[in-house]
A and B are shown apart, each in its own frame.
Chain A
Amino acid sequence: MLLQALVLGALVLAMVWLVANVQSNLERQNINSGFGFLSERAGFGINQTLIEYSEDSSFARVLTVGLLNTLLVSVLGIGLATVLGFVLGVARLSSNWLVNKTAMVYVEIFRNVPLLLQIMFWYFGVLRNLPSPRKAVSLGDAVFLSNRGIVVPALEMTAAAWWYGAALAVSTTAYFWLRRRARLLRLADGTAQSIWRPVSMIAMASLAFAALLGGVPFSFDIPALKGFNFRGGITVIPEFVALLLALSLYTAAFIAEIVRAGIQSVSKGQREAAAALGLPDNTALRLVVIPQALRVIIPPLTSQYLNLTKNSSLAVAIAYPDIVSVFAGTTLTQVGQAVEIIFITMMIYLTLSLLTSFAMNRYNARIALVGQKS
């Protein structure tokens, strides 16, 4: 009790001392305090914005734009890294020697080189070294690679797209209804029924109907070189490409090892038991091996997702406009209120982390072994 009181007392004293220091320092250096700066005019441009933004927008808007850019690169990165990681993880377990070793070399190279170095490699070494827009590398005159980024055709929906939307809705409803019916039938008298044939027939019929009524549902806005740059299409900035590429390739190496360990943790007896019950290989994999492997895979996978989100802050090194770059970087230099800005930035990352781990813990609790206390 005495020890705890001492710890608490020391902590309070230290806090008081720090706050007093901060106050006197701020006063001496003439730095404002408080969060009033958030509503002031930002006055600088951002080269990738998912929502409307101009130089006249406020710093609060800068914060939102940065946060959305962080989320964009994180979500896409998580998707890509998961797909690549699972493929590599399964390849690491392949009985095929060449496939196995290729995956191993990939994993050992990518996870032992600092991520920041990989980001800079892709950005300064590769993407900024591409030719200028006038000499851009073109793929079928529709996609252009240049040092200004990747320009792809923009997809524009026409009114006919509604017919296709309706067709999709009909097929989805049919799928769920048929699945439910098949399930009830199986529970009632044990007859298994494949629903893929009726579902695909309904889907094809409704799509054909939509095509008949509406015709082609979209048109492309194809980019073309006008003067020194491209007009039309969507330009993906090189900073985004480099960051996404580096984050996914790096994290995939870690996910591959997690997947490998997860699948290896399912004992051979489980597969043999499934085979003895007469389950075909695919069904055994889907119903026996994967659910048990997931139990081992999910917790470390969550922390890799969180790592990827936090690592996206390295964007600041190549000036991709994520939250750290535009808020803790540009805004901090303009406003100078380090305490508030760093505090907000840290709080946002903390909230993201806690939300993700909360969601994943819920999911993990649902799939955990019943009766096993973690």
Chain B
Amino acid sequence: MSSWTPTAPRPAPSNTVGFVAWARANLFATKLDTALTLLAFTLVVYVVEAIFGWAIIDASFTGDDRTACLKEVQGACWPFIEAKFGQFIYGRYPDAERWRVDLVFLSGLIGLIPMLMPNVGFKRANMIYLLGFYPIFAFIMLNGGMLGLATVDTTDWGGLLVTLVVAITGIVASLPLGILLALGRRSDLPIVRALCIGFIEIFRGVPLITVLFMASVMLPLFLPDGINFDKLVRCLIGVALFSSAYMAEVVRGGLQAIPKGQYEAAAALGLGYWKTTHLIILPQALKLVIPGIVNTFIGLFKDTTLVLIVGLFDLLGIVQLHFTDASWATPETHITGYVFAGAVFWLFCFAMSRYSIFMENHLSTDRTSS
């Protein structure tokens, strides 16, 4: 008895597979498409060639001062970055004490990486480490003055260190503050509600730079004689208040999306206001607005650059400061410095936005979309 063997399927017509077919469908589908493709192709080739030529072919890679970057056709001046790299990361933090900053960076990463990976356990212990132990540890290590560590004044902090300190403090402070403000805005108590609305609308209506001016010029006037904060701390307060107003609006969006039935079900179970909020409403609301929260974080991270206007030296500020160094004054120093700082900021922001997309998919319990 011979078994039935089906004929092998014929290959697809050659004009529907492979690169040619793909290009036909995606690049040259119509006359307009062909024109657009050619236009875009010219543009891309031009830009890529210019960037490649500037960053690699015409660039200098080694040298100890400006003479390395004064060729006839000069591209990027990478030795400038190489020579100033330590400054860009630590600012004027004393050389001998930089291991303390490294230790703080490292211990932060140790807590942060497992926190960001959804499959790793011990989330509660990790949270206590990150929010309870780590800030105190980081403060003692960076500021010094105890445990036999020399005090390093915040005026000597700078570079990426200040950028990260401002951004992380802002992020950590703005989320709980924002949640409280959002709850207050939806509260039944008229005075609390009015205060929250006023706070949110004022801070959202003015530019961050005026808030920072206020923190650096006006705050000292508001405090009694003799009491004065560090400039960095004043900026931290300004940034945290500013971003908490934006965070509040994002969280409010999530709160509004929770159906009334959820509140009623919680009330039927006998839960009070705080238990309802904490156990039923917030977990659902926050999950809905993860993209918005991360966007606020990204905005905050980019906004940290504004502290340079009130005289702190974050990454951009310190790069800007080193342009005045006469031994590196070349026509290409500025652009090289900006490209370097821009690349660092871009890396952080892009990573955050990709992580938010990943988390959104991971947390999605919506069965219809998957």
Contact = CB atoms under 8 A, between A and B. Distances in A.
Contact of B341 (A22, A95, A102, A117): A117
Interface string B331-363: 100110010011001100110010000000000
A210 interface: no
Given A346-B206, A350-B206, A314 B221 contact: no
Secondary structure call for the B interface: helix
A317 interface: yes
B205 A349 contact: yes
B56 interface: no
B346 A313 contact: no
Given A96-B33, A109-B346, A120-B338, A314 B225 contact: no
Interface residues of A, number: 53
Given A3-B189, A113-B346, A116-B305, A313 B207 contact: yes
B345 A112 contact: yes
B189 A4 contact: yes
Contacts of B308: 116, 317
B214 interface: yes
A8 B331 CA distance: 59
B316 interface: yes
B349 A97 contact: no
A324 B338 contact: no
A24 B225 contact: yes
Contacts of A18: 222
A113 B102 CA distance: 25
Given A96-B37, A120-B320, A349-B210, A22 B221 contact: yes
Interface residues of B, number: 56
Contact of B350 (A99, A112, A328, A346): A112
B213 interface: yes
B180 interface: no
A53 interface: no
A280 interface: no
Given A96-B33, A98-B37, A102-B43, A117 B204 contact: no
B305 A117 contact: yes
Given A4-B191, A338-B218, A129 B334 contact: yes
A158 interface: no
Given A114-B316, A117-B316, A328 B346 contact: no
Nearest to B354: A108
Interface string A81-109: 00000000000001111110010000011
A50 B338 CA distance: 32
Given A22-B221, A120-B316, A316-B309, A311 B207 contact: yes
B229 to A, nearest CB: 14
B210 A342 contact: yes
B173 interface: no
Interface in B183-201: 189-192, 195, 201
B70 interface: no
A98 B41 contact: yes
Nearest to B323: A124
Contacts of B217: 332, 338, 342
Contacts of B353: 112
A310 B206 contact: yes
12 contacts: A96-B26, A112-B302, A113-B349, A116-B308, A124-B334, A124-B338, A126-B335, A342-B217, A346-B202, A350-B202, A350-B205, A354-B205
Interface of B: 26-27, 29, 33, 36-37, 40-41, 43-44, 189-192, 195, 201-202, 204-210, 213-214, 217-218, 220-225, 298, 302-306, 308-309, 316, 320, 323, 331, 334-335, 338, 341-342, 345-346, 349-350, 353
